[in-house]
Structures are given as C-alpha cells and as structure tokens.
Structure 1
C-alpha cells in the first residue's frame, strides 16, 4: 500500500528562549492508504496541534507534511485551501454545522464552495449509510448530538477525500453514542476507501483502530 500521509520532523513551538513551549517536537509518522490510525494522548499532549498541521490548518515551526508525496506547505495559501478542501475531510468535536441551513445543505456545502457538481447518488448513499436519510430537511438544532456528528461525518465524506481527520469526534457524546459514531466512521471510511486518522484521549476508543500512535509532551511513538 502507498503512504498517503507523512510527516517529517514536524515541530510547532510557541514562545522563545527559556519560555519556549514545544507543543509538537520532531514528529515523524507515515500512514498508508486505507489505514485507520488513532493518535492517543492526554489533554495538552500536542495531539490536536499535530492533527491541525497534518491537515494544513496550522503552519509548523519546522518539518514537512506530505500528502501523496506533495509537500503541502510548499503550496501557496490559495492552492493549499483548494488542496485541503478536495483531499481532506475534517470531523470536529464541536460538529461545526451551519445552523441556518438543513442537513442536506450542510452535507453538500464543501462541494458547492469548490464550485463542483455533486454526485447525488453518492451523497444519498452516505446519508443512508449513516442513518440520517429521514433528517435531510431538518435544521441542525432539531437533531441530537449523535445525529449532528453523523451529519458532520457525511459532510467530511461528501467530497470523496483521500483522508479523514477526526478531532475527538466523540468528545461531546455519551459513551454509547460515541461508540456508535466511531463504528460508523470506521465503516464509512472502509466502504469508501479512505484513510482515517483520529485523535482521542480514550483508551477504549483507540483500540478500535488498526494502529495506535501515542503522543506525550509533543513527541510521538508507536504503541
């Protein structure tokens, strides 16, 4: 299998001199196409910072991120925005749905932002797979937390990205709903052939992955 996502000596430092904080320090990882990898770490370990850099949402102090061999921080800002929108699907703890538009409109929004036609059959299949087909006309506030997170997952999958990056996707859910959402996320990524990278502080959730990376004090290692 090809390596789809790679970081080389990735660093993110804040402050200077004696006050420097090494949020991420020399993190080098390689993730293959179709893998499900969890990055396990306590709050403050640097895992969210790492994930944001892997997705091009935050700029590193040093090092590289390669997606399909392309150095994403070698791209101009506009090029990176388009690349990110087409290649990466993000699932956040806070859902980040737009409250004024319905479920269907939230799901297809990233495709519209890219001025592309969307594949209605593919979108309907995602929505059915995630069990929210009866909610497509609902506004987000009428949904439960678990349903809102399913909408967020559908939105991430809608652009047919190579990589799904999930930032504590069960953080606002009870344990039963959280396990259900993780199962759906794993099933969806497997069904659509996507690479899934998820950060979590939950040991049980981490065990569901193909591989676990552990983050401590800005450094990362294999479990």
Structure 2
C-alpha cells in the first residue's frame, strides 16, 4: 500500500528536503505540502492523506493547534510532529491532542521514513524510554490551576476516574501500554493472544475517547500508576 503523506513546515528548505527524502521511498507518496497549520484542513480535504508530518512552530496557526483541530475530525489522518527538542512541553501537548508521535528534525532520513511507515501501520513513534522522559518532564510542572504540592492533584484524580471505567483486564492492558510494552510483550506478560490484546486496546480507546496508545500511556501516568524511577531501569 502506498502511504499518502502531507508535509507541513514553514521553512521552505526543510519542507523541500523532507519531501525529496520521503518521496524517494517507493511506498510513500507526497500528495501535498503546507507552509502553515492554517493550510492543513484544505490539504487534507483535497488529498486524503494517511499521515501528516507537522512542524510544531509555525507563524499563523501552530502545529499544536492544527493537530488538535485535525484530530477532532472524523476519519482524521495520523499526525507526526516535527520538533527540535525531545523534551518540549509542546510535544506533550501535541501527543495529548492525538498526535501519533514525534521525530526530531535532525533524525536520520531512514528513521523518519520508518516513522511514517510505523504511524501509517497504527504504531506510535515513541520508544518506551522516550515516552518515560516526556512524561517525567511534564510531571515536573503542575497543570494550570493545579496546586504545587497537592496530596492528590486534580489531574491525577481525573485520570484515575477515567481509568475506573475500564474492566479489570482492560486496566491491566492499559497499565502495560503505559509501561511502553508492545502488543507481543503484553500478550506474554498477561497470558493472552496478541489479537486479544489488540481488542482490549481498541476497547480502551473507545471507552476513554482516546486516539492512540500514546494517549493511554499519558493517562496512566497522570493517574500515578507508573513508578518512573523503577521503570527507567527496564529500558
């Protein structure tokens, strides 16, 4: 299957370089380019891409706002955000908005191609170690309006209440997703088949109104269910 891709970046040189590099892959077709997040709705309507590669910092409509608007639409394509920082709080906001992952602008070309392929196949572009780093980064600062030293922050209580909607087995799968485990690893750990794991993940996404596995991981983290220091040793 050919992956239909749109590249959105306000720097024409970066945009041209990405399009040239990605368009050279036999299974990727560059169907459109945009210079700002404001261009995204029209490009998506015209070209029906599977994936949008989106810069975060753009002058009129930034990539975060464009991602939020796009992922709120029915049948929206997957979004991979481009950034120069691997622990940028804006990247986390993009992931919460439904982006399937991110790539750094200095990532080797082959890895960017692989990232587009993975996202098109339904896999998030975040390693467990990077997921933990991002979640740890955002945890260092309270959410807007949240007390600085609470016993149970509102964000944690809200996340716990949402996860309480899950059945016991679904909750176990959600925790494993939060730990950065693949479907195969979850299947082995919980003694179930990979198709069953996929079914549970689909049900979790539907029940909680989430877009992808990254959002499950972030919700599990917000609920305080991950022991980040211990997890780090498993990377």
Normalised by the shorter chain, which TM-score bucket?
0.3 to 0.5
- Which structure has more RCO (C-alpha within 8 Å, separation ≥ 6)? 1
TM-score by length of 2: 0.34
